[in-house]
């Protein structure tokens, strides 16, 4: 493990090494030892920067980690694209927890990150104190999956930040139709990073798209894996307009797990940005209850 030399007293950045030798980047916020740490995992094409606002809010009370999954952000790209699979990611998370000496965590997983959280809970329930699923369930609605397959890893290059913002809007306006114009540059900065000559590039390995189309983002028997959450406190944030988590899927989740907390976030699709008032209240309340219950 190596620490970023520019890290501050409240934010630290470092790397852990995966079992197959990749350097995986994470950020830790907060120094408090109150309760279980919180681990944030981003979606298919995203990275830990998606949780900047969440980390800042929660870090006043808890230790909060955000991991860049392999192939994203500051983590190494995998030379074998077939490793871009939830089981590999779950193994990486377990290795990270072991290396950092963390016994149990509360998982906050957006989309793919939620699938990884579910898989980890199924295989290692003793390591998971609670799970927040951000707009994802055991199934992915076919219409949403086809939409994602149609662009992931296939977007053309941009030459400047204005073009990066426009490309971000093109792909994501269906999810956030009411997002103010001045917010889109913030979203773009989470998706893109400047290369060595200052040109914004998507901050992900394009071969993730190949894995998505040929392997898929779901796992075998996903509803069986969902049973791994039976005894684990779980909440799902559900974008009202989501084409990934439909109301039919959410209702089936509630049938299998009646104590599932189901919070609809109005006016957004896939996925809630987690800074909506409904999302913030739900996240804060859920985590506080788990920490009190031990």
Task: Count other C-beta atoms under 10 Å from residue 61's C-beta.
Answer: 16
Strand partners, 110: 134
Mean pLDDT of all residues in 1-12: 48
**Buried b vs exposed e over 203-215: b needs ≥16 C-beta within 10 Å?**
bbbebbbbbbeee
Instruction: Determine how many CB atoms are found less than 10 A away from the CB of residue 149.
Output: 16
Position 195 in a domain: no
Q: Which residue has the higher pLDDT, 6 or 252?
A: 252
Positive or negative, the CA dihedral 264, 119, 55, 170 is: negative
Q: Which residue segment(s) compose the domain that 117 sits in?
A: 2-144+218-293
Distance CA 58, CA 172 (A): 26
Which helix (H) or strand (E) covers residue 130, if one does?
Answer: strand 128-134
52 belongs to a structural domain: yes
Q: Which of 274, 294, 282 lies closest to 55 in space, CA to CA?
A: 274
- Rounded to the nearest angstrom, the gap between the alpha carbon of residue 12 and the centroid of all alpha carbons in its chain is 19
> 244, 73, 61: which is closest to 144 by C-alpha?
244
Reported as half-sphere exposure (CB side, CA atoms, 13 A), residue 47 has a value of 26
The answer to whether 54 and 64 have CB atoms below 8 angstroms apart is yes
Residue 267 maps to a domain? yes
The predicted-structure confidence for 223-259, as pLDDT tens digits, reads as follows 999 999 999 999 999 999 999 999 999 999 999 999 9
| Terminal-residue alpha carbon distance, the chain | 29
Q: How confident is the model at residue 154 (pLDDT cuts 50, 70, 90)?
A: confident
* CATH number of 25's domain: 3.40.50.1820
Residue 294 is predicted with a pLDDT of 67
Closest CA relative to residue 136, chosen from 207, 229, 46, 218: 218
Asked whether residue 40 is domain-assigned, the answer is yes
Give the count of domains, the chain.
1
Are 120 and 126 contacting, i.e. CB atoms less than 8 angstroms apart?
A: no
In a domain, 71, yes or no: yes
> Strand order of the sheet with strand 64-67?
2-3, 11-17, 23-29, 64-67, 38-41, 105-110, 128-134, 234-239, 261-265
d(CA 35, CA 269): 32
Q: Decide if 277 is inside a domain.
A: yes
Single pTM value for the model:
0.94
Q: What per-residue confidence (pLDDT) applies to 151?
A: 85
Burial 250-269 (b: 16+ CB within 10 A, else e): bebbeeebeebbbbbbeebb
pLDDT value of residue 219: 59
Q: Does 232 fall in a domain?
A: yes
186-227 pLDDT tens trace: 999 999 999 999 999 999 999 999 898 887 655 568 899 999
The predicted pLDDT at position 7 comes to: 40
203 closest CA partner among 39, 44, 56, 26: 44
Check residue 72 and report its DSSP letter.
Answer: B
Determine the distance from the C-alpha atom of residue 277 to the mean position of all C-alpha atoms in its chain, rounded to a whole number: 19
CA–CA distance, 210 with 290 (Å, rounded to integer)? 38
Q: Is residue 55 part of a domain?
A: yes
């Amino acid at each position: 493990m190596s620490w970023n030399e520019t890290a501050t007293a409240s934010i630290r950045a470092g790397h852990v090494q995966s079992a197959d030798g990749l350097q995986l980047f994470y950020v830790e916020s907060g120094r408090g030892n109150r309760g279980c740490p919180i681990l944030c995992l981003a979606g298919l094409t995203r990275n830990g920067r998606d949780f900047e606002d969440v980390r800042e809010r929660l870090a006043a009370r808890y230790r909060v980690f955000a991991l860049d999954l392999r192939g994203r952000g500051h983590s190494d790209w995998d030379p074998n694209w077939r490793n871009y699979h939830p089981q590999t990611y779950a193994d990486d998370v377990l290795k990270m927890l072991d290396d950092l000496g963390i016994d149990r965590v509360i998982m906050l997983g957006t989309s793919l990150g939620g699938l990884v959280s579910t898989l980890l809970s199924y295989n290692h329930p003793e390591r998971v104190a609670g799970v927040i699923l951000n707009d994802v369930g055991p199934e992915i609605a076919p219409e949403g999956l086809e939409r994602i397959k149609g662009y992931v890893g296939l977007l053309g290059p941009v030459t400047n930040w204005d073009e990066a913002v426009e490309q971000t809007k093109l792909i994501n306006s269906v999810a956030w139709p009411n997002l103010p114009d001045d917010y889109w540059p913030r979203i773009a900065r989470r998706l893109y990073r400047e290369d060595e000559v200052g040109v914004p590039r998507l901050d992900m390995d394009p071969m993730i798209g190949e894995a998505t189309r040929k392997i898929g983002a779901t796992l075998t028997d996903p509803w069986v894996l969902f049973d791994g959450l039976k005894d684990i406190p779980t909440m799902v944030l559900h974008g009202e307009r989501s084409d990934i988590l439909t109301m039919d899927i959410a209702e089936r989740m509630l049938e299998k797990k009646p104590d599932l907390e189901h919070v609809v976030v109005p006016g957004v699709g896939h996925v809630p940005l987690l800074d909506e008032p409904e999302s913030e209240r739900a996240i804060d309340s859920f985590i506080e209850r788990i920490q009190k219950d031990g």
